[in-house]
Structure 1
Amino acid sequence: EGHGSRGFVLIILRDYILSLSPAGSHSLRYFYTGTNGLPGLPEFVIVGYVDEVQIMQYDSESRRAVSRQRWMDEITQEDPQYWERNRQIAQATQPIFKVGVQIALQRFNQTSGGVHTLQEMYGCELRDDGTTGGFEQFAYDGQDFIAFDKETQTWIAAVQQAVITKHKWEADQAFNHGLKGYLEQECIEWLKKYMRYGKEMLERKVRPEVRIYDRPGSEKNSIALTCIVTGFHPRAIDVAWIRDGDTRMDNAHTDGILPNEDGTYQIKKTIEIGSDDKHMYACEVEHSSLEQKL
């Protein structure tokens, strides 16, 4: 369907989604997570994202598919049964994942007493040049398990335990043909629809704020220079330390681009220099909201 986990699972997924969102493209992605041995957390969770923005969530405790963005609620004006249909799909998938976790336990000769996860990610991408991409893959306990190659309509087993699944799924040619069609056509149509509804949020441009501070470095007689860039949207940005106006410093430490609570982003980049260093250092920022570099 144009189809989350609480706690640590959702955090992991969000970080993963951010790492998969290249500049100059839009994507629709769904993550299904089935768990075993995690008391206090739902056994089954679905989260859906357009780009890096969460649009929906379902979990096995509430048994409801709910909107995570105000503009997603507008879909019911055009499609009154949208959320009910998604709820039914999610509830029908839930027992399949429960069985899937048990099958994986057997394949890997594991007992049901430990903590185990089965995850599925599928979706599509629409690039600025008009080309598209589609993907469908599964992971078990955080490791690749099996993935769909839509061009050949075959399944690629990442581990020996997935070979049985590969042969079983490749025998169902009608399903694989339908999956290819969904990823290349229907998924893209849903993505375009969501982008239309969420245009104001998804395509907004917010200028970054830049701050620089220094502190003692990790080595004796060194200084750490940190450039903090925050409050920007969209996510794609280039931040670099420049020495003497022309030398880009490639040894900067960063934790990457991180989300802020208001839907914008932040990034920090730190370099260490000698306390007697006489060079001039500047933090340069390039972002689509800026007419010229900061």
Structure 2
Amino acid sequence: KLFYFIFFSLSLKYSLKYFLTATSGLPDFPEFVASASVNGVQVGYCDSNIRTAEPTQDWMKKLVKDDPQHLDWYSEKCFGNQQVFRANIDSLKQRLNQTRGPYILQRMNGCEWDDETEEIKGFNQYGYNGEDFIALDLQTLTWIAPKPQAVITKLKWDAEKARLEHNKNYYINRCPGWLKKYVKYGRSFLQRSVLPSVSLLQRSPSVVSCHATGFYPHRARMFWRKDEEEFHDGVDKGQILPNHDGSFQMSVQLNVSSIKPEDWSRHDCVFQLAGAETDIITKLDKKVIQTNSVSLSEFPVGPVVGAAVGVLLLLAVFGFFIWKRNSHGEIQLIFPLNLMIIEVHPPILRYSSG
């Protein structure tokens, strides 16, 4: 009951997030990709190939038509950040004595705003080759360095008081101001509630995937139950992924190899959407399971090295991805729809404000 209350109370918040990624050593992939999202929906995109910012939602296109300078600012920042990130990667390769790629430098920054309490939260975080490095603490106006390798950068950036004040003003005033403007233009889109279509997919003889697609907002959860009680054994929950139309999809897999045929009817899949009055419940029934169907969420999110270029380019179009190093030391692609700390492992980086 407590989780139910907390889960649905989150729907009052709005977020504006920027995902910037620079790469070196990834053939046929843009050297620089930047994406802006509001509540997990991409609203703007640019990369080193198109060299300009482009709005990706109809209501955002209307906003930049009313205020062309807004788009000009984004295009200028896109080009400027591309140069800074490229120089940073070259510097990191030298300082860390790295001779083999790929090299991936990332930043996630932005702000959150609660339209009821007016609470504002800003964030600015970096990542390099999937490893943690440094994040800005706006409360103390200092940089957090969780690793010894980042201390030099922390000391240098902590001494740049003018830039720290600029950051404070940007994340506490300017960013929330823009976010409120975006919410004003896209309110009907951002405040809509759309339930998904839910299907059971047979991934393998032993695995059934419950797949939901077309829902909005992205604050949703899906789980398997037995006798109306949630369970976790043999369950693998997937991430929430964006669709091209601004909606979302997700899946949760169930290993059915140990379930007796007479017990299948005791299991069901439950989908819950923030703000929705009812859940979508799908019984585990062999008669309704679809086979030979592959959705975006069924693609394996594996190591970047050796990954298909076509999939990488598809992800670049969405702009919602982060490379993160796993426990085996491999760099993997993930979709950061919720705020997560992505930090870096370098010494001194050049600083790009905003």
The aligned amino acid for 2:229 is T
Deviation at 1:232, TM superposition (A): 1.7
Residue identity matched to 1:204: R
Q: Is 2:235 aligned against 1:248?
A: no
* TM-score, normalising length: structure 2: 0.67
CA distances 1:247-269 after superposition (whole Å, capped 9, x unpaired): 22233333233333333223333
Cα separation, partners in 2 of 1:268 and 1:89, compared to 1, 3 Å: closer
CA distance in 2, matches of 1:118, 1:213: 36
Supply the distance in 2 between the matched residues of 1:165 and 1:95 (Cα, whole angstroms): 19
> Which amino acid in 1 is paired with 2:273?
H
In structure 2, the partner of 1:274 is 260
Measure the CA separation in 2 of the matches of 1:274 and 1:215.
19
Q: Quote the residue 1:124 is aligned against.
A: 111
3-state SS of the aligned residue for 1:94? Answer: helix
The 5 A counterparts of 1:108-119 are 108-111=96-99, 114-119=101-106
Work out whether residues 108 and 161 of structure 1, in 8 Å CA contact, stay in contact via their aligned partners in 2.
Answer: no
- SS where residue 277 of structure 1 aligns? helix
SS in 2 for 1:166: helix
Secondary structure in 2 aligned to 1:105?
Answer: helix
144, 150, 154: which one pairs with 2:132?
144
Give the structure 1 partner of residue 61 of structure 2.
73
Q: Which of the two has higher C-alpha Rg?
A: 1
RMSD: 2.5
Contact 1:107/1:161 (8 A) holds in 2:
no
1:31 maps to which of 11, 14, 19: 19
The answer to whether residue 167 in structure 2 is matched with residue 179 in structure 1 is yes
One-letter amino acid of the structure 2 residue matched with residue 119 of structure 1: Q
Are 1:90 and 2:72 counterparts?
no
User: CA deviation digits over 1:173-211, x for unaligned, max 9?
Assistant: 121022012111111111111111122222211122334
Structure 2 SS opposite 1:35:
strand
Give the structure 2 partner of residue 236 of structure 1. Answer: 219
Instruction: Give 1:39 deviation, angstroms.
Output: 3.0
Q: What does residue 193 of structure 1 align with?
A: 181
Select the residue among 229, 238, 244 that pairs with 1:261: 244
Equivalent residue, structure 1, for 2:270: 284
Cα pair 2:11 2:275 within 8 Å, conserved: no
CA deviation digits over 1:216-265, x for unaligned, max 9? 853xxxxx655333322112223333333x42223333323333333322
Counterpart CA distance in 2 for 1:153 and 1:35 is 29
The 1-side partners of 2:25 and 2:264 are apart by 57
Structure 1: tracts of 5 or more residues without a match: 1-21, 219-223
Counterpart residue number, 2:332: none
Q: Aligned residue for 2:296?
A: none
Cα pair 2:42 2:246 within 8 Å, conserved = no
Name the CA distance, whole Å, in 2 between partners of 1:278 and 1:102.
56
Secondary structure of the structure 1 residue equivalent to 2:237: coil
Offset of 1:162 from its aligned partner? Answer: 2.3
Larger relative contact order (Cα-Cα within 8 Å, sequence gap ≥ 6): 2
Higher mean C-alpha displacement, 231-240 vs 136-145: 231-240
Query: SS in structure 1 opposite 2:164?
Result: helix
2: CA distance, partners of 1:239 / 1:126: 26
Equivalent residue letter for 1:145: F
Shift, 1:285, TM fit: 3.1
Name the % identity. Answer: 38
